[in-house]
Chain A
Amino acid sequence: MHPLLITLLTIGGVLGGTLGACSYLIYIERKLAAFIQDRVGPNRVGPFGLLQPIADGLKFLLKEDVIPAHVDKFLFILSPAISVFTTLLAFSVVPFGAASKDGIFPWIIAPQVDLGIVFIFAVSSLAVYGVILGGWASNNKYSALGSLRASAQVISYEIPLGMSVLGIALLGGTLNLEEVIKVQATGLAGWNFWYQPLACLIFFIAALAESNRLPFDLSECEQELIGGYHTEYGALKFALFFLAEYTHVITISFLTVILYFGGWHFPWFATAASNYAGAEFVKFGVLLFKVLSVIILIMFIRWTIPRFRFDQLMGLAWKVLIPLATANVVLTMVVREFDLNRWWLTVGSFVLFLTAGFLAIDPLGRSRATKRRRPAAAVPVAGGHHAH
């Protein structure tokens, strides 16, 4: 087949797959939330509520498309489009199977992009425009404040996100995502997670914050605030913001699996040497299974860890994650430079992690965060309980 045709088919497949996956991930999330909160969850539309995503999609489509009179119309419409565009574009260099030139199907939209992960960072650094323009174009001071808060978060967490990946670049000598998987496909002990556990944790936390998921969803606060930068949005334009967030969750799950958990590799039946009939599909299945596990983990985290306060959020990025990521890069450089055994990286990561933990505790048993709490915070509540 013509390569252009194959590329178009891949793009169509990825687009359809991502959108379908998004709608059913929302269903899974609602069911999981119901399970954790001892509820039933969506169960009205279709058997077990399985048609609920379709009903939700139709509702988004058919609702009245309100554009408030005082907004900057062009930017108001542009910003959800930017959000979706950047998250989908980032997916173009993510392999979703064992990418190879001679297979029937490439399993990646843009094969052999030497930049790989840098391309993803470049594209997703543009995602902040969707947030900032959405808030500004709404011409509403609460939206504008929400967008400032959200963009400060997104910009801050980009730094630990990028720095945590440097260790992998140093270990594997490549940033190309296909090559990163091939480097790890030497066996279970080849997965980057064993050598970069701290970086994996930092990457996962920063990626969660980038995609505005709980416990970092200050930009939205779905449960108790009305919203953030997208307060004025409704119908399909709001759905686009949500679609962007869910696509981002899928992308970061793919990246976590590809960078740290061996991608499509699994011992015995999905190795670099396995070439039985249908091996490509088995690898595809292995990758999807790992990705789904990460997504489920993200959903459980949502209902497990409470939200950070804004100063805690910024403190976590600038005072904890960035120094730890820097230390991790130095550690990896030392191990590479003096050609030490790679398992020293594991030991070093744990030492760094424990040191950071001990530094946060002072002898009186109070953590530094509570000791340095803002004095002004206690004043307004002192008079007693206000009626809500």
Chain B
Amino acid sequence: MSVEWIKSHWTLLVPLLMGALALAWMMPRQGKPRPIAAGLMGLAAVGCAGFFLLKPGPEMVESALFFLFAGTAIVAAGLMITSHNPVYAALWFALVTLSVCGLFLLQSAPFLSAATIIVYAGAIIVTFVFVIMLARQSGAAFYDQSSEQPTWATFASFLLLGGMLVCLGDWRGQSGSDGGMGGGMLKVPAVWQDRELNPNPLSTLPDTEAGVKAAGTMRGLGRSLFGDYLFAVEIAGTLLMVATIGSVAIAPRRAQGGL
């Protein structure tokens, strides 16, 4: 790893290091907790990352909303894994899901966003909360008070995150949109810029701006799902059906009584 490389990538490395430090401090562990210092460090890391790595887009409201949703998602995700109380962790997870749904909305995918809210926030996380409530009813257990290997976990996760961001930055730089890392992650997805990679090979949506907009509506999405990707959808549906029948078959029956 040369000094040159560090020099050219310092805008990426500084927020990553700060974030890793904040997360390592916030992990529940034995010893003196440092919530305020860790929180400030974490906020600074998110702020730095936003400042260095992202350029606000031309639309002011859209950029503001993007930063709001993205920031909330990251902060809530951090709080989710560092929370002492499992119920709070599940609720932070719900907040992460809601923020990501906001990002979907900004990318004009309203149906995906609503479906994610219904499935994740409305059903799956509710099931988590159910299980947590029923499984552990009084006080926090000892294994909730400290996390296993917090330092190594933080190190590994930020190594992965850093690797992903470096690859993404290099890839953005090569595709030559407008210059390296700052090249606007707020842009229209690359799929639409690349004419050869047509996401709707069969349906008759025109390859114009109106056609792109129509793809975001329920009508366009339905046509694409049940036209272009009919077999994939049916196979996924069959898989879910088999899983449902299997879970009903495996679940133990009560000896007597209804309900």
A126 touching B117 by the CB < 8 A rule? yes
Q: Find chain A residues with CB under 8 A from B118 CB.
A: 118, 121-122, 125
Q: Find chain A residues with CB under 8 A from B114 CB.
A: 115, 118-119, 121-122
Instruction: Determine if A5 is an interface residue (Cβ-Cβ < 8 Å).
Output: no
Q: Find chain A residues with CB under 8 A from B111 CB.
A: 115, 118
Residue of B at shortest CB range from A132? B129
Contact with B along A290-325 (1 / 0, CB 8 A): 000000000000000000001100110000000000
* Contact A125 to B133, CB < 8 A, known contacts A118-B114, A375-B256: no
Instruction: Determine if B259 is an interface residue (Cβ-Cβ < 8 Å).
Output: yes
Q: Find chain B residues with CB under 8 A from A122 CB.
A: 113-115, 117-118, 122
B218 touching A115 by the CB < 8 A rule? yes
Instruction: Determine if B110 is an interface residue (Cβ-Cβ < 8 Å).
Output: yes
* Contact A132 to B133, CB < 8 A, known contacts A115-B218, A155-B126: yes
Instruction: Determine if B10 is an interface residue (Cβ-Cβ < 8 Å).
Output: no
B130 touching A311 by the CB < 8 A rule? no
Instruction: Determine if B68 is an interface residue (Cβ-Cβ < 8 Å).
Output: no
Instruction: Determine if B94 is an interface residue (Cβ-Cβ < 8 Å).
Output: yes
A114 touching B256 by the CB < 8 A rule? no
Instruction: Determine if A129 is an interface residue (Cβ-Cβ < 8 Å).
Output: yes
Task: Give CA–CA (A159, B256) in the complex, Å.
Answer: 27
Instruction: Determine if B31 is an interface residue (Cβ-Cβ < 8 Å).
Output: no
Q: Give how many B residues have a beta carbon under 8 Å from the other chain's beta carbons.
A: 26
A374 touching B133 by the CB < 8 A rule? no
A114 touching B218 by the CB < 8 A rule? yes
B126 touching A376 by the CB < 8 A rule? no
**B207-259 CB contacts (< 8 Å) to partner A:** 217-219, 256-259
A372 touching B258 by the CB < 8 A rule? yes
B133 touching A114 by the CB < 8 A rule? no
**A170-196 CB contacts (< 8 Å) to partner B:** 173, 175
B122 touching A126 by the CB < 8 A rule? yes
Instruction: Determine if B87 is an interface residue (Cβ-Cβ < 8 Å).
Output: yes
Contact with B along A102-146 (1 / 0, CB 8 A): 000000000001110011011101101100110010000100100
Within the complex, the shortest CB–CB distance from A369 to chain B, in Å, comes to 9
Within the complex, the shortest CB–CB distance from A57 to chain B, in Å, comes to 31
Contact with B along A132-168 (1 / 0, CB 8 A): 1100100001001000100100010010000000000
Within the complex, the shortest CB–CB distance from B132 to chain A, in Å, comes to 9
Tell me how many residue pairs across A and B have CB atoms closer than 8 Å. 76
* Contact A374 to B123, CB < 8 A, known contacts A119-B114, A122-B118: no
A129 touching B218 by the CB < 8 A rule? no
Residue of A at shortest CB range from B116? A122
Residue of B at shortest CB range from A314? B259
* Contact A151 to B256, CB < 8 A, known contacts A122-B117, A125-B117, A136-B133: no
Within the complex, the shortest CB–CB distance from B1 to chain A, in Å, comes to 45
Interface SS, A side: helix
Within the complex, the shortest CB–CB distance from B224 to chain A, in Å, comes to 15
A114 touching B110 by the CB < 8 A rule? yes
Within the complex, the shortest CB–CB distance from B43 to chain A, in Å, comes to 20
Task: Give CA–CA (A372, B219) in the complex, Å.
Answer: 46
Instruction: Determine if B45 is an interface residue (Cβ-Cβ < 8 Å).
Output: no
Within the complex, the shortest CB–CB distance from B245 to chain A, in Å, comes to 16
Q: Find chain B residues with CB under 8 A from A123 CB.
A: 117
Task: Give CA–CA (A115, B111) in the complex, Å.
Answer: 7
Residue of B at shortest CB range from A315? B258
Q: Find chain A residues with CB under 8 A from B129 CB.
A: 129, 132-133, 136
Q: Find chain B residues with CB under 8 A from A148 CB.
A: 130, 133-134
**A354-380 CB contacts (< 8 Å) to partner B:** 372, 374-376
* Contact A126 to B121, CB < 8 A, known contacts A115-B114, A151-B126, A151-B130: yes
**B61-98 CB contacts (< 8 Å) to partner A:** 87, 91, 94
Q: Find chain B residues with CB under 8 A from A119 CB.
A: 110, 114
Task: Give CA–CA (A314, B115) in the complex, Å.
Answer: 25
Task: Give CA–CA (A155, B123) in the complex, Å.
Answer: 8
Q: Find chain B residues with CB under 8 A from A155 CB.
A: 123, 126
B256 touching A132 by the CB < 8 A rule? no
Q: Find chain A residues with CB under 8 A from B218 CB.
A: 114-115, 118, 175
Q: Find chain B residues with CB under 8 A from A144 CB.
A: 133, 137
Q: Find chain A residues with CB under 8 A from B117 CB.
A: 122-123, 125-126
Q: Find chain A residues with CB under 8 A from B137 CB.
A: 141, 144
B130 touching A125 by the CB < 8 A rule? no
Q: Find chain B residues with CB under 8 A from A375 CB.
A: 256-257
A376 touching B130 by the CB < 8 A rule? no
Q: Find chain B residues with CB under 8 A from A376 CB.
A: 256-257
B110 touching A115 by the CB < 8 A rule? yes
Task: Give CA–CA (A75, B87) in the complex, Å.
Answer: 10
Q: Find chain B residues with CB under 8 A from A113 CB.
A: 110
A132 touching B258 by the CB < 8 A rule? no
Task: Give CA–CA (A123, B133) in the complex, Å.
Answer: 23
Please tell me which one of the listed residues A75, A132, A173 contacts residue B126 in the complex, with CB atoms under 8 A apart.
A132
Q: Find chain A residues with CB under 8 A from B121 CB.
A: 125-126
Within the complex, the shortest CB–CB distance from A269 to chain B, in Å, comes to 33
Q: Find chain A residues with CB under 8 A from B217 CB.
A: 114
Contact with A along B97-115 (1 / 0, CB 8 A): 0000000000000110111
Q: Find chain A residues with CB under 8 A from B134 CB.
A: 148
Interface on B for A, CB 8 Å cutoff? 87, 91, 94, 110-111, 113-115, 117-118, 121-123, 126, 129-130, 133-134, 137, 217-219, 256-259
For this complex, 13 residue pairs linking A to B, each with C-beta atoms less than 8 Å apart, are A75-B87, A114-B217, A115-B110, A119-B110, A121-B118, A122-B115, A125-B117, A125-B118, A129-B91, A136-B87, A151-B130, A374-B256, A376-B257
Q: A119-B114, A125-B123, A133-B129 are in contact. List 17 more A-B contacts (CB 8 A).
A: A75-B87, A113-B110, A114-B217, A115-B111, A118-B118, A118-B218, A125-B117, A128-B122, A128-B126, A129-B91, A132-B126, A132-B129, A133-B91, A136-B133, A148-B130, A374-B259, A376-B256
